[in-house]
Structure 1
Amino acid sequence: MRRLFTILYICIIAVLLTACGADTAMKKGDKFFALGEYYDAAGQYKKAYTQTRAKDKPLRGQRALKMADCYRRINYTQKAIAAYNNAVRYKQADSTSIFYLGKLQLKNGNYKDAEKTFTLLLDSMPNNPLVKNGLESARMAPKWKADAALSGYEIKKQELFNSRRAEFSPMLAGEDYDQLYFTSTRNQAVGDELSGITGTKPSDIFVAYKDEKGNWQKPEVMESELNTEQDEGVSCVTPDGKTMYLTVCKSDPSYPRYAKIATSTRSDASWGKAQEFEITKDTLSLFAHPAVSPDGMWLYFVSDMPGGLGGLDIWRAQLTTSGIGALENLGTPINTPGNEMFPTFRPNGDLYFSSDGHPGMGGLDIYIAKPNEEPSPNPSEEGSLATSYGGSAPLLGGVGGGLYTLEHPGFPLNSQGDDFGMTFEGLHNRGFFSSNRGDARGWDHIYSFEKHEIVQTVKGWVYEQDGYELPEALVYMVGNDGTNQKLSVKGDGSFTQEIHPGVDYVFLGTCRGFLNHKEQLKVDTVKESQEYVLQFPLASITAPVLIDNIFYDFDKATLRPESTEALDKLIALLEENPNVTIELSAHTDYRGSAAYNQRLSQRRAESVVNYLTEHGIAADRLSPMGYGKEKPKTIKRKLTEKYPWLAEGDVLTEEFITALKDEEKQEICNQLNRRTEFVVLRTTYGLFDKPAEETTSSQASEAKE
């Protein structure tokens, strides 16, 4: 009898201890959940669930629901489905929980189950757009998978960039797209502690480079102050390559963590410490996933701040020299009551983003928003959603009430998992993105994509004539199809722009302190992608400009026939800059008498002027000057690359040349001194001078008065 009592006592104590342990675990779980540490919270809720007696069905159902919510947030899809099913089994699931179960069934590829779930929900929530989208998704997803070949996309998992943890949001950078930045929670990330949010290390930004042969190398940790023991990631770089915007999330043991946007500036080859970039004074909303528009004028980002359509919305803020300007929500059709995230741009201006609020295949799907400049056919429909997903279809609304075309690119770019974070290799429809498809742990990895398209592009290089690139230059592009664009150049002075067949273009290269240079291009129809290359050598307004390849007969001023090409280019330059007058100067080497060299150089300068006037250049724009050997050449840095034995600033005087022991080097210096140059004298020719007829007419009018 005593033994039976002892066993009963032990059982009672065990039950009490179990209940106490479950309650303690729930309290810990609730604390972790409030801080957004869903991985740690899920562990505590699971502990509480397993310690709850089977006959306490309502309590088990409530704890299963909390566990399911955490698993859903950290992408443990199958565990979340099992937990939601338990909540349903114990009759503790409300309509919101059933909705999440349906979304997870989509994400797991259980389209038939998802269709049943959303059909059931539709009876009780007939006007909920997200429920309607869920049902449409369950019905459309199998069709998208069946039509995979029609999408044109080729997808490949990039094992070189991936690890046993998560990698996401790749970003191509560099003048030749030879750098790939991405976010990862791999073991090489800074810090030793695991995140309570994900159960992995906090995310850092990693980078991979191409070698000289164009092959990608293994990723490495960025050697800079950018990464810390906190979370950093989801970055973008401004078109000029000088500023990086990124998402940061600082930890606080007693306060919920809100993602913020920060900036980093490049110093030489390294990125500096991230500084918070304040968009608004709102401290209770998250700001994440930055993307800069191709023109560099707008910062697109994700936020849940007031004024949105629900969930996470995509916003944009104007970037000005004095800080943040106008702030706008992109509105419909892009934003929905669901979540819109990870905006990014194809260089042609198409906006790519991911959403779970539009009909999709499950999880986050990638969508393409193409701006349409045509006016709305029915302004009264602005803001409506006029589409049947499954291809290109117009959607009305958006920033400024414009018209957008929203496309779902189908399978295999999209999948049943989360697909997001596009980055493009220039104007071509190829690059990288991230997806957690097929990963049981829900971790994201990097994939490549390519869709064969015929893309015609022009690549231009703007540089100082006889000098280096001009990164401050602007190129104006005008086409007979109505195109009128202003193009900025990269740090290497280059630009790349899409062009269209059958269009005639004019490009004008400009830069402060330099003369303009014009190029024309006629684009033909082709069967394969093609790139045209244009050169824009700009002549300085403040320094002498060498006219290369001008040749005279020996000891004479007669121009040789091979000089024609260079002189014709000078004529084109003067025609493109009609308000410029120049001094045309000829120079000789030090050999011979000063008087003779001066007379010879003067006649040579006059020969060039005569050629120019014979070809339509007004004589009063040209001043011939023969300097003989009075002005020996001063070496520029660019020339030292060809002749490393010369230094920038060297003046090729007779003393300098004769001091060279090598006769070949002496002759090279003499050749450099024998040159024809021009210097800009005025840039206002004809601007303030009245034509003779106008002057006479004006005088006659004054006389009558």
Structure 2
Amino acid sequence: MKKATYLGYFNAILALAGILLLQVSCTSLQQKAQNQFSAGEYQMAINSFARLLEKEPDNSEANFYMAESYRLSNRVEKATEYYKKVTEKDATFESQYYKGKSLKGQGDYEAAKEAFEAAKTLTMDDERIALAEKEIKNIEAISSIEPIWPNHELENYELLNTSGIDYAPVLSENYLYFTSSRGSGDMYPATGQGYTRLFRARAEGVNVDVQNVQTLPEFRNESGLNQGAIAISPDGNTIIYARGNAGSKNDLPDVSLFASYFRGGGFTEPIFMPVNGEPEYWNSTPAFSPDGEVLYFASNRPGGYGGTDLYQSTKLANGDFGNVVNMGPEINTAGNEMFPRPMPNGEFYFSSDGHPGYGKLDLFVLREDEDSTGVRNLGPNFNSLADDFGIFFTDYPKEGFITSNREGGKGDDDIYYFKDMTPPPKVVNVLLNVQTKERLENGEEQVLPQTRVVLYDENNQTIDGNFSSQNGRLRFPLEPDKNYSMIASKNGYFTKSIPYSTVGKTPAREDLVEQVTNVTLDTTIVLEQLVLERAIVLENIYYDLDKADIRPDAAAELDKLVQILKDNPGIRIELSSHTDARASDAYNDDLSQRRAESAVEYIVSQGIDSDRLEARGYGERQLIIENAQTEEEHQTNRRTEFKVIEITD
């Protein structure tokens, strides 16, 4: 055999051996990866399938399990490229549906809708078709989501968080309790993170003593399993938390709720709760009702609406919880609902990936609005493409905590605090300067000190009152766009009421620039001396020629006298009418009497007691201008007057 031929044959044998070795190696690696997947060791399976896909990138089975490993370890947004590989060769409803979920988790809503539409064509099952249609409708509803509290802002609690897992804080008796993987010596193979334990730190509201975080002192955290999602009863005497994912075959296969009770000066060792049902059920994220009589939690037990549902259980006479009831389809969906948070006002907060939301778990509330009752997304200032869950209010609704694994965090799940950052409303301070004066006999005005002025609102309720100073001044604080009235009184003077309004006298709120705007307004109240038998002319009281009917313009003037009588209930008056001298005495006496009586009748019709009024017609017997010549002089003589004839108090 020639040397070249021998070398070629030898190289061929080596190549064939290499292929066989590679096949054996790949087969062994794939089996190992599948075993890890079956055991729920998803992160380890991901590592193994990734090595396999480096050699066989088109391996459909490896791509499928890679995608499923990400989905089942709550990282579905990382599974997109693997679901795409699967659907290119052998698309099924499941692969298209979950591809849509992974695309939605990345915020690629249009591509997600296309995947859900494609999934509908790959099944004849009505329930599966309904699932895909629900996802499409949820995506279409995203654009209509509005924030419930648009001025609430989230902040990553960086000093509290670690590079691992930190989530689900609750506040009880000035301690913040939360779950964290910090300091864990063991790795949880499903996520590649450390096992979680329960911690606490002193806190006042959202202010946490981050320098003194300690493991839960009430009872010992157990190693080799996850402990988290703690709930503490309102009286602080019961702790319920989720425990599971143990590596030991002798432990419970899934996550269950455990309870510890304060007895004899300390907390008992945690015990398995009857509400868990069968050991293979997943039960977690507990929360107490505000009165501690109801326990809420999430479970995947049979008979739900899909995924994990929220359940409630009432406290029994022996202190245990029982009568587990599904919370129904208004809250629960075909997706996952968890992390309940009932509030004293009846609102119910929770997280879900089945209601219209942005990506994975979003925060929702079941509440009664003015127009309807229903579930609402908290909005884009709380929710993201990632998981957003575990809301807890330290001062409802102004501040509190949530958990999120959104982009830009410090670790995996991080604790965030939120605060209402609504700017304080711009304030308009209205100050009314009141000047009190009196009118002298010559018509001039002068300061009237020590006058009592009382301020009333539009419902005639007293707001303020005081005496004017020696300079006749006093000041009232008012509100913008309000109607008021003031009554000024002083012995020896007619009491007088005047309306006052600030409507239109202050800047519109949208035009305000400064945080505080001061507006000063001024008004003057002029009082008349109350002198017995002194005649006071009522201006502009006119009658039609030879008639005594009250004209509308005269009525408006008489209304001023009506107000004087209402303001001064202790006076009786004589209302007199006078004519000029251009007709006979008898005619003028009769006409003036009829006019005076008409005026009195009008005043009585406005609610004034007739006993307080006396009508007198003087004709031409009390002329102001004797021998009047001009029409203006005659008009001066034709007048209506009143004078106080009695003061009863």
TM-score grouping bracket, smaller chain normalisation: 0.5 to 0.7
Quick one: distance in 1 between partners of 2:404 and 2:276? 31
Structure 2 distance, partners of 1:327, 1:75, is 27
Residue 334 (structure 2) aligned to one of 333, 337, 342: 337
Give 1:119 shift: 3.2
Amino acid at match of 1:136: K
Within-5 A mapping of 1:588-667: none
Matches within 5 A, 1:231-242: 231-242=226-237
Q: Aligned partner of 1:105: which letter?
A: L
Is 2:353 the counterpart of 1:356? yes
Change (3 A) 1:425 1:269: farther
Specify whether residues 271 and 450 from structure 1 end up closer, same or farther in structure 2 by C-alpha distance, changes over 3 A only.
Answer: farther
Distance 1:268 1:114, change over 3 A: farther
The letter for the 1-side match of 2:17 is I
Aligned mates of 2:76, 2:226 — CA distance in 1? 23
1:132 alignment counterpart = 133
Q: Which amino acid aligns with 1:210?
A: A
Alignment check: 8 A CA contact 1:428 1:453 kept: no
Query: Hey, what's the Cα distance between the residues in 2 that align with 1:106 and 1:185?
Result: 28
CA deviations 1:350-387 (Å, max 9, x no partner) are 221111111211101111123x6xxxxxxxxxxxxxxx
Contact 1:62 1:92 in 2 (8 A): no
State yes or no: 1:424 paired with 2:393.
yes
Checking the alignment, whether the CA contact within 8 Å between 2:387 and 2:404 is kept in structure 1 is: yes
- Quote how far apart the aligned CAs of 1:67 are: 0.5
Tell me the alpha carbon deviations over residues 83-115 of structure 1, each in whole angstroms, 9 at most, x when there is no partner: 1122223x1331111111111111111222223
Q: Which amino acid aligns with 1:409?
A: L
Q: Partner residue of 2:577? A: none
Distance in 2, Cα, partners of 1:20 & 1:303: 42
* AA aligned opposite 1:262: F
Q: CA deviation at 1:22?
A: 2.1
Contact 1:77-1:108 at 8 Å conserved across structures: no
CA distance in 1, matches of 2:324, 2:205: 43
What amino acid is aligned across from residue 406 of structure 2 in structure 1? R
The answer on whether the counterparts of 2:161 and 2:410 sit within 8 Å (CA) in structure 1 is: no
Please tell me whether the aligned partners of residues 206 and 400 of structure 2 are also in contact (alpha carbons under 8 angstroms).
no
Residues 245, 263 of structure 1: 8 Å contact kept: yes
Q: CA deviation at 1:14?
A: 2.1
1:228 paired residue number? 222
Rate the CA distance shift 1:12–1:266 in 2: closer, same or farther, 3 A: farther
Residues 1:104 and 1:359: Cα distance change in structure 2 (over 3 Å): same
Deviation at 1:434, TM superposition (A): 0.5
In structure 2, the residue matched to 1:314 is 310
Aligned in 2, Cα 1:148/1:24: closer, same or farther, shift over 3 Å? same
Asked whether the equivalents of residues 168 and 421 of structure 1 are also in contact (C-alpha less than 8 Å), the reply is yes
Secondary structure of the residue that 1:413 maps to in structure 2?
coil
Larger radius of gyration: 2
Whole-angstrom distance in 2 between the partners of 1:212 and 1:275: 31
Describe how 1:441-456 pairs up with structure 2 within 5 A.
Answer: 443-451=412-420
Distance change >3 Å, CA 79–CA 326, structure 1 → 2: closer
Question: Which runs of no fewer than 5 residues in structure 2 stay unpaired?
Answer: 424-478, 480-649
Q: Equivalent residue of 1:450, what SS?
A: strand
Report if the CA contact (8 A) 1:226-1:272 is conserved: no
1:204 to 194, 197, 210: 197
Q: Percent same amino acid among aligned pairs?
A: 27
Q: Which residue of 2 aligns with 1:97?
A: 95
Partner deviation per Cα, 1:589-611 (whole Å, 9 max, x = no partner)? xxxxxxxxxxxxxxxxxxxxxxx
- TM-score under structure 1 length normalisation: 0.54
Instruction: Give the Cα–Cα distance (whole angstroms) in 2 for the partners of residues 341 and 211 of structure 1.
Output: 26
* 1:78/1:250 CA distance change after superposition, 3 Å: closer
Deviation, 1:346, is 2.8
Contact 2:77–2:101 (8 Å) recurs in 1: no
8 A Cα contact 1:172 1:180, kept in partner: yes
Distance in 2 separating the partners of 1:168 and 1:207: 12
Match of 1:277 in 2: 273
CA positional deviation for 1:148: 5.6
Q: Are positions 1:246 and 2:245 aligned together?
A: no
> 2:455 is matched with which residue?
none
Where do 1:164-175 residues align within 5 Å? 164-174=163-173
CA distance in 2, matches of 1:212, 1:434: 16
Tell me by how many angstroms 1:341 deviates.
1.3
Give the Å deviation of 1:227. Answer: 1.2
* Deviation for aligned residue 1:213: 12
Provide the rounded CA distance (Å) in 2 between the counterparts of 1:441 and 1:413: 17
Structure 1: unaligned runs, 5 residues or longer? 373-390, 395-403, 455-525, 527-705
* 1:417–1:435 CA contact under 8 A, matched in 2: yes
- Aligned partner of 2:236: which letter? G
For the Cα contact (< 8 Å) 1:300–1:315, is it kept in 2? yes
Alpha-carbon distance in 2 for matches of 1:348, 1:311: 28
| Aligned residue type for 1:209 | R
CA gap of 1:17–1:272, structure 2 versus 1, over 3 A, is farther
User: Residue deviations 1:508-561, cap 9 Å, x none?
Assistant: xxxxxxxxxxxxxxxxxx9xxxxxxxxxxxxxxxxxxxxxxxxxxxxxxxxxxx
Give the conservation status (yes or no) of the 8 Å contact 2:179–2:199.
yes
| One-letter amino acid matched to 1:287 | N
Residue 37 of structure 1: how far off its partner (Å): 1.7
Contact 1:354/1:365 (<8 A) preserved = yes
CA gap of 1:10–1:441, structure 2 versus 1, over 3 A, is: farther
- Work out whether residues 157 and 415 of structure 2, in 8 Å CA contact, stay in contact via their aligned partners in 1: yes
2: CA distance between counterparts of 1:354 and 1:298? Answer: 19
Whether contact under 8 Å (2:156, 2:417) holds in the other structure is yes
Greater CA deviation, 164-173 or 14-23?
Answer: 14-23
**Number of residue pairs matched?**
413
> In structure 1, the residue corresponding to 2:44 is in which secondary structure?
helix
Q: Cα distance 1:226–1:141, how it changes in 2: closer, same or farther (>3 A)?
A: farther
Q: Whole-Å Cα distance in 1 between the matches of residues 212 and 362 of structure 2?
A: 27
* Structure-2 separation of matches of 1:13 and 1:392: 76
More strand by share: 2
1:441, distance to aligned residue in structure 2 (A)? 10
User: Could you tell me how far 1:313 is from its partner in structure 2?
Assistant: 1.0
Indicate the residue corresponding to 1:497 in structure 2. Answer: none
Instruction: Say yes or no: does 1:216 pair with 2:209.
Output: yes
8 Å CA contact 2:77–2:104 kept in 1: the answer is: no
TM-score, normalised relative to structure 2: 0.59
User: Is residue 2:35 matched to residue 1:31?
Assistant: yes
1:436 aligns with 2:405: yes
Aligned to 2:260: 264
Structure 1, residues 101-132: CA drift from partner, whole Å, max 9, x if none? 11111111122222322233345567634322
Deviations 1:249-300 (A, max 9, x none): 0524558831000112357997554222222541221111111111211111
